Structure 1
Amino acid sequence: MHCTNVNIGKKESFYKGEAEFQGECLKIQVSEKPGSTRITGHSASPLGEDTEMTMKKSVLQEAAERVWRRMSCDPGLQRKPHTAIMAGKPILHYFDGRARMESIRWLLAAAGVEFEEKFMKTREDLEKLRKDGSLMFQQVPMVEIDGMKLVQTRAILNYIAAKYNLYGKDIKERALIDMYSEGMVDLNEMVLLYPYLPSRDKDGRLTQIKEKSRNRYFPAFEKVLTSHGQDYLVGNRLSKADVHLTELLYHTEELDSTVLANFPLLKALRTRVSNLPTVKKFLQPGSQRKPFDDRKCVEIARKLFS
């Protein structure tokens, strides 16, 4: 699908684009007005017939979501959050720090999805979630989305990626996206846990992070971008793998400012993703992006989980 125009007014939201629906190519015009929600368009059938149609609200929501999703891949389009067509914002349950929730924040932000956060501040807050049955495995992060209470970070990320068209166009692209995303896990885990290490272990861990990022992980992703010469890792369109890698590049640079010196294509990818309107907004001061986990954050986490 290719989005051709977006215009958001104060009294109505108006979208234009193209989408495939039930095997037919639709030129759609999606509008959201007070008291009236519908999609109208024209279907060019294989027989050359041009049929005007009006669809139900459920189909409107699906088509409008597709228009929104496509915009995450095109920095030239001014993408707005999904507030007009969402039943409710996702709610993120965690403490006020990066740790295992930050990748979820990044992916929702990249998709242009506004979200709320409920921070746990005491052990009692965590126990309350456990006792009311909200945590399937007694663990956070937990995200309330689409009537579900999802736990397990990767399951949450995969759902968001699939919902907002950040998971490739077919099973082959999804396999590559999964492979690249899983390939980042080891390095990301080292960076994520670094603030929580005892002081005596930090120098050794930092040396390990520098060595593995420069000699194993970043060369691998630089090679991927070199091999196909495209703007993104898979299918020349934004996917969760690009978002995860951009996040990892930022976090690794916080520990090693020269880590990208020999990786020009990774630097270009980081800049490209950072300039997408949704990500650019997320990187601004005052956003829901969390700073490096400081001593206070570490103390809160230890009180919650120890």
Structure 2
Amino acid sequence: MSVPKLLYFDIPGKAEAIRLCFTYAGIPFEDYRFKDREEFLAMKTSGKLVFGQVPALEVEDVILTQSTAILRYVAKLKAESALYPADPILAARVDAICDQESDAFMGLRVAKYKGRFGFKFLEDDKFKEQLDDTLANLNSEVIPRHLDALVAALKAGGTDWLAGTKGPSIADFCWAPVLKGIHEGKFTGDAKVLDAFPDLVAFLHKFYTLPAIAEYYKDTPETIDFSAKGRA
């Protein structure tokens, strides 16, 4: 089988979890990053992307889409990596944690990418105050509520991993880049959101110090520091 080709922009975004999953499992892949938006639009217009979205994974003559589906595919390529449990109950718990990530940030993604969700009219400056209030509410109430639930799931699982697996699963790969983005103030716009969740900061430290993950980022200019001191 040829090397899978991951298609995305030259940013972490939704593809970062997949890149890290390939890396952790030791599976060779081509990390293809569009040269510009026009290249992506040309592929979208061609009809190759089933839902007109990326990330997409080109495997032989098939293009897979939807990030969580791709994560499951990658995990199943190397069963010994234990990234997706064989036990159906545990697998369902992993799936639930992945789905919860979508629920937790649905409002934020609509507010950030208004046109994509049919709210392009909100880009008008007259709605700026309402949007600012919405983002403040998401950071102060909605997202913390979901993070509380994630901490509860982490503690209930009885391990260091979000779905209660013995080692990292695709659920951890799904959440880690998003939480990292929050902690760095690059996703929600409020880097202090995680200050109230030391268990999640500890999870991030454990995840990003996994040898394969640390090696992946060794040449990254920015230092990955999940302490409050490191962000100050």
TM-score normalised per structure 1: 0.56
Find the residue that maps to 1:92 and give its secondary structure. strand
Q: State how many pairs are aligned.
A: 199
Find the residue that maps to 2:84 and give its secondary structure. coil
**CA distance in structure 2 between the partners assigned to 1:207 and 1:285 by the alignment:** 36
**1:256 matches 2:190:** yes
Identity of aligned residues (%): 28
Asked if the contact 1:187–1:209 (Cα under 8 Å) also holds between the matched residues in 2, the reply is: no
**Greater mean deviation of Cα atoms: 260-269 or 172-181:** 260-269
**Correspondence for 2:208:** 274
Q: Give the superposition deviation at 1:110.
A: 3.5
**Correspondence for 1:9:** none
| Distance change (3 Å), C-alpha of 1:109 and 1:204 | farther
Gaps of 5+ in 1: 1-86, 288-306
**Correspondence for 1:93:** 7
Asked if the contact 1:93–1:120 (Cα under 8 Å) also holds between the matched residues in 2, the reply is: no
Root-mean-square deviation (CA), in Å? 2.9
**Greater mean deviation of Cα atoms: 248-257 or 270-279:** 248-257
**CA distance in structure 2 between the partners assigned to 1:139 and 1:262 by the alignment:** 34
Superposed CA offset, 1:170-206 (max 9, x none): 1111100001110111234455566546472245224
| Distance change (3 Å), C-alpha of 1:206 and 1:238 | same
**1:102 matches 2:2:** no
| Distance change (3 Å), C-alpha of 1:237 and 1:125 | closer
Asked if the contact 1:161–1:167 (Cα under 8 Å) also holds between the matched residues in 2, the reply is: yes
| Distance change (3 Å), C-alpha of 1:274 and 1:230 | same
Superposed CA offset, 1:188-235 (max 9, x none): 445556654647224522431342222x21111211222243121322
Q: Give the superposition deviation at 1:155.
A: 2.1
**Correspondence for 1:53:** none
**CA distance in structure 1 between the partners assigned to 2:15 and 2:107 by the alignment:** 15
| Distance change (3 Å), C-alpha of 1:95 and 1:194 | farther
Asked if the contact 1:91–1:118 (Cα under 8 Å) also holds between the matched residues in 2, the reply is: no
**CA distance in structure 1 between the partners assigned to 2:111 and 2:19 by the alignment:** 20
Superposed CA offset, 1:18-58 (max 9, x none): xxxxxxxxxxxxxxxxxxxxxxxxxxxxxxxxxxxxxxxxx
Find the residue that maps to 2:192 and give its secondary structure. coil
Find the residue that maps to 2:7 and give its secondary structure. strand
Asked if the contact 2:139–2:193 (Cα under 8 Å) also holds between the matched residues in 1, the reply is: no
Match of 1:207 among 137, 145, 151: 137
**CA distance in structure 2 between the partners assigned to 1:221 and 1:261 by the alignment:** 15
Task: Give the letter for the 1:95 counterpart.
Answer: F
Find the residue that maps to 1:108 and give its secondary structure. helix
TM-score normalised per structure 2: 0.71
Asked if the contact 1:191–1:252 (Cα under 8 Å) also holds between the matched residues in 2, the reply is: no
Match of 2:166 among 232, 236, 244: 236
| Distance change (3 Å), C-alpha of 1:134 and 1:179 | same
Report which of the two structures shows the higher radius of gyration computed on alpha carbons: 1
